[in-house]
Amino acid sequence: MEIRTKVSQGILHVYLNGEFDVQTAQLFKEVVDRIWQEEQTDFVFLYMQEITFLDSSGLGAILGRYRNLFQHNAELVIVGPRPGIHSIMSMAGLQSIISIFPSIEESLEHVRGVRYAK
So what's the pLDDT on residue 83? 97
So what's the pLDDT on residue 115? 72
The stretch 21-48 carries a mean pLDDT of 97
Alpha carbon distances (Å) from 103 to 21, 60, 67, 77, 100: 23, 23, 23, 11, 9
Measure the CA–CA gap between 22 and 56, rounded to whole angstroms.
8
Half-sphere exposure at residue 92, Cβ-oriented, CA atoms within 13 angstroms: 19
pTM score, two decimals? 0.94
Q: pLDDT digit string (tens) for 86-108?
A: 999 999 999 999 999 999 999 99
**pLDDT above 70: residue 77:** yes
